[in-house]
Amino acid sequence: MTAATATAAESPPKKVGGARPLRLVVGLVGAIVVAWAAGNVFLALAYYPEWFFDNRLLMAVVGMIAGVGGAALLFYCVNVFIEGMPQRLSEGVIPYIFVLPSFALLGLVLVYPTLQTINYSFANQDSTAYVGFDNYVAIFGSSEFWLSITNNALWLIVVPALTVVVGLVVALFADRLSAQGEKVAKAFIFLPMAISFVAASTIWAIQIYDADSEIGLLNAIVTGLGGEAQNWLRLDTLRLNSFLMMVILIWMQAGFAMILLSGGIKAVPEETLEAARIDGANEVQVFFQVIIPQIKGTMITVFITVTILVLKVFDIIYVLLNGQASSNVIANLFFQELFTFQRAGNASAIVVVLLILVTPILIYQVRHYRKEAAR
């Protein structure tokens, strides 16, 4: 065999018109088959659990294998398909093709349910016939709905602002400790973030707000000072019970705020701080006129994140009072309408209202991130 023949034998198959038709076909067919098979596995898990002996552990394992393995095979087939394209075309479509499955998944789990919820909000309570705006008329005419809106507004006014303030104060004090002390303090403050909302609510209900003066810390303090024990979570005067529940959320989110704000404070150039001190500024002036403007973007990020969380707050209210004693909020009202009263139409209308309330905040958040990225 001559050198030319050997070289020709070792070289890869030439493209026809810059493309490899076999790879195109194999990749496309493979991707379709994998997507079809994985989709059917998940449908079987959802609608035919008896096929898996009603064993949840087995179903979880099958779902994990189908999800992870299916994703790996899908991307492999997509890669084969891309390799079969002409080089100039493949370079242009690679980013879009690999991002497309993610967008498709987001559309499946986010966009489609949102559109369906909007659709159901115009249907009757069992979603069998359209009733126009009757559900919206019903919820807007409900005193419980307006009570929930008022409580949510109160949570929005108090929780994000206090979370930022508490996180900022803790970050300032922690940054003044020794390196080891700072680590310990920050770990201790951040620890509540590792607790679920349900667990945190239970802890506070038993250890702090319990009506028994021998168990609840708050009543122990009050009775120790000569007062009478109270069932604090049932006191709706001036929305006291709502404020007590807000404390739990602030306690849980203060660590998150502290971490971000501490990072922002550490990013302020030391030269800027020294220049302000040389110009005669005291520590209070340095804080308000130098540090705060430098970390304003981080503060806004924390504020927006907590605001979105507050609009969706549910677990704390559900665990402690389930909306009783004038403590209801929109998310808990939705839960009651859907699962307690079996009114899917009203529940869907409430979700649409919540979506409308959240959307402007999300738009502002995206614009804020773009401005920060452009700097």
- In tens, the pLDDT along 44-99 reads 999 999 999 999 999 999 999 999 999 899 989 989 998 898 888 888 888 887 78
Structural domain boundaries, residue 211: 137-374
User: Is position 252 within any domain?
Assistant: yes
User: Could you say which of 95, 120, 145 is where a domain stops?
Assistant: 120
Structure confidence at residue 17 (pLDDT): 47
Q: Residue ranges of the chain with pLDDT lower than 50?
A: 1, 3-12, 14-17
User: Could you say which of 120, 153, 174 is where a domain stops?
Assistant: 120
Measured CA to CA, the distance from residue 183 to residue 119 in angstroms comes to 50
Structure confidence at residue 211 (pLDDT): 82
108 and 243 in a single domain? The answer is no
pTM: predicted TM-score of the whole model, two decimal places: 0.79
- For residue 125, what are its two tokens? 């309570």
227 CB burial (10 A radius; 0-12, 13-18, 19+) = exposed
Bridge partners, residue 130, by sequence: 123
- For residue 106, what are its two tokens? 């987001």
Structure confidence at residue 132 (pLDDT): 95
257 and 319 in a single domain? The answer is yes
Q: How many domains does the chain have?
A: 2
Structure confidence at residue 87 (pLDDT): 82
172 and 84 in a single domain? The answer is no
85 and 144 in a single domain? The answer is no
CA diameter of the chain: 106
User: Is position 95 within any domain?
Assistant: yes
User: Could you say which of 61, 93, 120 is where a domain stops?
Assistant: 120
Measured CA to CA, the distance from residue 77 to residue 306 in angstroms comes to 41
Measured CA to CA, the distance from residue 69 to residue 37 in angstroms comes to 11
CATH code assigned at 348? 1.10.3720.10
Give 195's DSSP letter.
Answer: S
14 CB burial (10 A radius; 0-12, 13-18, 19+) = exposed
365 and 330 in a single domain? The answer is yes
- At 130, give phi and psi (nearest 5°): -80, 140
113 and 156 in a single domain? The answer is no
User: Is position 129 within any domain?
Assistant: no
82 and 206 in a single domain? The answer is no
184 and 231 in a single domain? The answer is yes
179 and 261 in a single domain? The answer is yes
Structure confidence at residue 4 (pLDDT): 46
User: Is position 275 within any domain?
Assistant: yes
Q: Which residue has the tokens 């810059």?
A: 18
